[in-house]
Structure 1
Amino acid sequence: MNLENARQRIRWITIAVLIGTAILLTVLDNTGNINTALAFIRNPMTLILNWTSAQTNTIADALAGPRDLQEAQTQIAELQAQLDALERENETLRELQGEYQTLLDLVNRARQTPDIRRATATVIGYDPSPAVRSLIIDKGSNDGIVVGMPVESARGLVGQVFRTTADSSQVVLISDNASAIPVRFGNSRDTGLMRGGAVGSAAAVEWVDLQYQLEVGEVVFTSGLGGKFPQNIPIGRVAEVDRNEAELFQRAIIQPAVDFDALEIVFVITDFQPIDTTIFESPTDN
């Protein structure tokens, strides 16, 4: 209210000054002193008009300020909402890209060995027990899955079917402590037996002859010996070589090719029949 009164007062003062000036100019014009009068009042009038304009601008700015601030806050909120939407969209696109890459890798893996029949399965859970490293897939006996079938991903060997139900199966991972897989080194061509590590330990190939020069980074494949797995499935790479010239054998620590904690889709090799070699492990009774 005080602000409005000030504006009204300024307006009436300005009108009064203008009327008074007009009357004065008329009188002076009749007496012939108009130029002198104009020179006398020009500067004061200029100051008055400039002051009036400045006060008017100040009042206008004071009135417009809150509106501008509110509009700026509204724009900031709208931009933040758009940014949040873009971030959600980018996250969705990244997930879709990851799924697409996984499927593409699986297709490429299947093309590499077209003679092998596979059933695609989704990982639906992990065994919480630290004693057994295994996962659960959504395919079971109703889908033709049987105990002993090898399981692989796009990157390499995952494990072997250990137990089945009608609609799901338990797969023991190659990193499990009880796992024993005949392997072959890609460069040296030597063979050995890879055993899974205990909890907190890495898988390793033991009893490798010293005559073979194992190299860090060397790829390790299934050898096919023992009849449990097809040959030439990637398992991982040599991460470390434990070699002592005073001993007869060396040891290789293996970094699995598969990230078991990130598995979503796997292949079950359905046309491979494991060979039972246990009959050769003990003498035949006569």
Structure 2
Amino acid sequence: MLLCAILAFVLMFAEHRFSRMEEVRAQLTTVVAPIQWLVSVPSDVLTWGALALSEQRELVEENRRLREQLLTLSHRVQRMASLTADNVRLRELLNAAPQDEMHYITAELLSLDSDPFTHQMVIDRGRRDGAYVGQPVMDASGVVGQVTAVSAYSSRVLTLADASHALPVQVNRNGLRFIVQGTGRYNSLDVRHVPNTADIREGDLLVSSGLAGRFPAGYPVAKVTGVEHDPGQPFASVTAEPVAQLQRSRHFLLLFPPPSVQPEAGDRLWDETFSITEPPEELIR
């Protein structure tokens, strides 16, 4: 050890005093490089093996989750096929017109509004893509909001969380209709004017009712998170959480609801209804 220390001191002194030691050091580095590589091989092999095993475990776990998800979705598709067939048969019995298919285009998030008191965002679809003011916007989970301004290549969307946004909804369980309004927070909505005697419970799913004519009926909006009854007040305090991932979603759907058709005064349906309610000619005489 003393000899190695003396040799190291001599080499440092020689490198400091003589300029040709730079070339000697370069040559020695070249000679020692294979030895350094051989020494590092076991460590590199262990690191690579641990990483490979870790990635393999993650891939196996992800594959298992995807198989479970595929099985669940397959079950839902089969159930939906059965429900669709039942719906078609019931509509045939009621002689009702079939529902039109909902058209849509995809959009991607461009930017979020920097104002902390508003909850708006800009997406990459505009007037050239068919976007229009008032168009409903959704993500993979539910209703996100509606378009409030349109330019040629982008649109501004007002989300459900904004305090100025309100949406007519109904309880999916029993059909009770209410108004949901934003609170300025992404994870909370107010259900307005809910009577104390209303049958609304924590966990109820609120879907769009379609009454305002802007959002089509039946799309998930929020889930009830709290119901508080005050005996001294006419209305209960009901809060809900948006179903849509307002803070995480980057891809959206812009829906094109079919225009609602209202019966005119001269339609056959109105004439038949009027003829039923009109008293017979004998009673008039």
Shift of 1:185: 1.1
Shift of 1:200: 7.4
| Contact persistence 1:149–1:274 (CA under 8 A) | no
Q: Distance in 1 between matches of 2:47 and 2:195?
A: 64
| Contact persistence 1:223–1:231 (CA under 8 A) | yes
Q: Deviations over 1:176-195 (max 9, x none)?
A: 11001111112242111111
**Equivalent position amino acid for 1:264 in 2:** R
Shift of 1:145: 0.5
Partner in structure 2 of residue 175 of structure 1: 161
Q: Is 1:142 matched with 2:128? A: yes
Q: Is 1:185 matched with 2:171? A: yes
Within 5 Å, give how 1:62-73 maps onto structure 2: 71=38, 73=40
Within 5 Å, give how 1:60-139 maps onto structure 2: 71=38, 73-81=40-48, 83=50, 115-139=101-125
Please, which of 202, 206, 229 is the counterpart of residue 243 of structure 1?
229
Moved over 4 A (4+): 67-72, 81-91, 111-114, 272-275
Gaps of 5+ in 1: 1-66, 276-286
**Equivalent position amino acid for 1:254 in 2:** A
**Equivalent position amino acid for 2:47 in 1:** Q
| Contact persistence 2:207–2:219 (CA under 8 A) | yes
Please report the RMSD computed on the Cα atoms of aligned residues, expressed in angstroms.
3.5
Q: Distance in 2 between matches of 1:191 and 1:274?
A: 20
**Equivalent position amino acid for 1:227 in 2:** G
Q: Distance in 2 between matches of 1:200 and 1:219?
A: 17
Q: Distance in 2 between matches of 1:274 and 1:136?
A: 28
In structure 2, do the counterparts of structure 1 residues 126 and 200 end up closer, same or farther at CA, with 3 Å as the change threshold? Answer: closer
Number of residue pairs aligned between Structure 1 and Structure 2: 197
**Equivalent position amino acid for 2:166 in 1:** A
Partner in structure 1 of residue 188 of structure 2: 202
Q: Distance in 1 between matches of 2:188 and 2:204?
A: 16
Q: TM-score, normalized by length of structure 2? A: 0.59
Q: Deviations over 1:244-280 (max 9, x none)?
A: 13321112101111111111211101245599xxxxx
Q: Distance in 2 between matches of 1:200 and 1:145?
A: 25
Q: Distance in 2 between matches of 1:130 and 1:171?
A: 15
Q: Distance in 2 between matches of 1:274 and 1:253?
A: 31
SS in 1 for 2:117: coil
Q: Is 1:161 matched with 2:147? A: yes
| Contact persistence 2:187–2:242 (CA under 8 A) | no
| Contact persistence 1:228–1:274 (CA under 8 A) | no
Shift of 1:79: 3.4
SS in 1 for 2:247: helix
Shift of 1:233: 0.9
In structure 2, do the counterparts of structure 1 residues 124 and 228 end up closer, same or farther at CA, with 3 Å as the change threshold? Answer: same
Q: Distance in 1 between matches of 2:49 and 2:100?
A: 47
Q: Larger radius of gyration, structure 1 or 2?
A: 1
Greater helix share, 1 or 2?
A: 1
Q: Distance in 1 between matches of 2:205 and 2:176?
A: 12
Partner in structure 2 of residue 255 of structure 1: 241
Shift of 1:139: 0.8
Q: Distance in 2 between matches of 1:205 and 1:191?
A: 10
In structure 2, do the counterparts of structure 1 residues 116 and 200 end up closer, same or farther at CA, with 3 Å as the change threshold? Answer: closer
Q: Deviations over 1:206-264 (max 9, x none)?
A: 11122222111100011111222111110111000121133211121011111111112
% same residue: 23
Shift of 1:137: 1.3
Q: Distance in 1 between matches of 2:184 and 2:246?
A: 15
Q: Distance in 2 between matches of 1:167 and 1:85?
A: 45
Gaps of 5+ in 2: 1-33, 85-98, 262-285
Between 69-78 and 208-217, report the one with greater CA deviation.
Answer: 69-78
Q: TM-score, normalized by length of structure 1? A: 0.59
Q: Distance in 2 between matches of 1:247 and 1:222?
A: 27
